[in-house]
Amino acid sequence: MEIRHLRYFVAVAEELNFRRAADKLNLSAPTLSVQIKQLEDELGAQLLERNTGSVSLTDAGEFFLAETKKILDHLASIVATTRETAQGKRGVLRIGNMGIPLHEIISASLSEFQKSFLNIDITFEEVGANKFQLDALMKGRIHIGFIFLNEDAPSANFRSFPMRSTTIRVATGIGHPFAQRKTVSLQDLANERLLAIGPLYETSSHANFISAILKKRKIKSGPIRLASSPYAFFAMLATNQGVSIIGTMEGIELPPGIALHPIQESGKDLKTEFRMVWRKNEKSRPVLALIEILKRLSNPPPAT
């Protein structure tokens, strides 16, 4: 059975006349009759009652007509949507969610983007940090991701753009004893419960990042407790269930109840960049358009 058989049948069922239906389809009446007979043979059911000069639908024909119209309408919708998707007018654009620190830039960028791409749905995917963002990009789970550069530098498969420079600080709840200090030494973390963001049963880039900073300075710490989402992580910090090391950006506000402390030690690993990443071979017009908007809004022109 082919799509043309369905269209032929609908034409005959609507006209109830082979000659008029054939004219509508630019076929000869005998050819159309043979095509309908082939359809009936394949179905094992008579769809039309044929009398001299007239045609009528059988009960099976009435049912088949209603269902065939649904199929053809759905097919037309699929074709139209596929064409619009190919033209960048419709589809889904997926962004890797890290509890995105650049909330204002993201919001402004999406508002501008959707003025030109009304039928593109934007979704935020929970994929974890750094390594998981890059894995999700490679597997096509997301179109745009965000990473801290000094953890997992993008390979040749990606392009990236610096959104913000970040400074590494110790994060605690405002009720933690560290909150009274002007600076905190990393050595002081040896006896603290450490927190990180990451999947509970998988490798955490954030935890690896903290461990690397401490290991470089030969500081031993206990197991790092993982929070499955940024929201859980900050809630645990705010309620003094532990402390952490995070990258901070100027002008970016953290949730209430969080205190940030400059680190006494120095080192290149205590500064990093927050970068947007995408696949090198990305060709989607909507994705590339949003990337350009994000680039522009993350580096606004200087005030005059």
Nearest-angstrom CA–CA distance, 197 and 144: 20
DSSP3 helix / strand / coil % (the chain, rounded to 5): 45, 25, 30
pLDDT at 54: 79
pLDDT in tens, 243-297: 999 988 766 777 899 999 999 999 888 888 888 999 999 988 899 999 999 999 8
Closest CA to 117 of 94, 98, 93: 93
Catalogue all structural domains in the chain, each as residue range(s) with its CATH number.
3-86 (1.10.10.10), 91-294 (3.40.190.290)
Nearest-angstrom CA–CA distance, 237 and 259: 9
pLDDT in tens, 60-94: 999 999 999 999 999 988 887 787 677 666 788 99
Provide the 8-state DSSP code for 180.
G
pLDDT in tens, 222-240: 889 999 888 899 999 999 9
**Unique residue bearing structure tokens 């750094």:** 130
